[in-house]
Structure formats: C-alpha cells, structure tokens
Amino acid sequence: MQILDIRPEPGGGNTLARFDAQVTPEIRLFGLKLVKTPRGHRIYPPHTNVHNCATFAPAFAEKLVRASLAALAGETDDSSSAV
C-alpha cells in the first residue's frame, strides 16, 4: 500500500486530511478522508448523496489509518507495504 497524495484539511476540525492510496498494483482509491474521532482514527471513503462508494474490513482500515498518519507526518510506514 502506498499513499499517493495526502492533503491536510484546513480548519482544525475532526477531519485531519484527505488522501489517495494505491492499495494494490491494480487498485487506487481517491478522496479518502482521515478523521479523528473519540474512538480513534477512522477512514471514510467518498460517497454519493446516498451511499458510500466503498467499505473496508477493520484490519484493512487500520492499515489505511497507519499509512495515512505516517504520510501526514512526512514518514513512510514500511509495515503498510503488505496489503
């Protein structure tokens, strides 16, 4: 997994950043949202007016959280390379 682009969210709210990720050589996800909640960090996919465009298993979501937090801090997270 690789974070292709991460954009810190201005405004100081719960949304920390939006980002794009290459999760496998064949799959890229765009416009993901990294949010800090009372229960920890969460990743939200883009959505239409009615539905989310994707869902993530908890273990995969945690990999996205770790990779996006590392990218936001300017680091690389080697543990996120395995999907």
Domains recognised in the chain with CATH numbers: 2-81 (3.30.1120)
Q: Which pLDDT belongs to residue 76?
A: 61
Residue pLDDT, tens place only, 8-20: 998 878 999 999 9
Average pLDDT over every residue of 27-41: 95
Query: Which residues, at least 6 apart from 24, have a Cβ–Cβ distance to it below 8 Å?
Result: 83
Residue pLDDT, tens place only, 36-81: 999 999 999 988 888 888 899 999 999 999 999 999 998 765 444 4
Classified as helix, coil or strand, 37 is strand
Tokens in use for 72? 């936001």
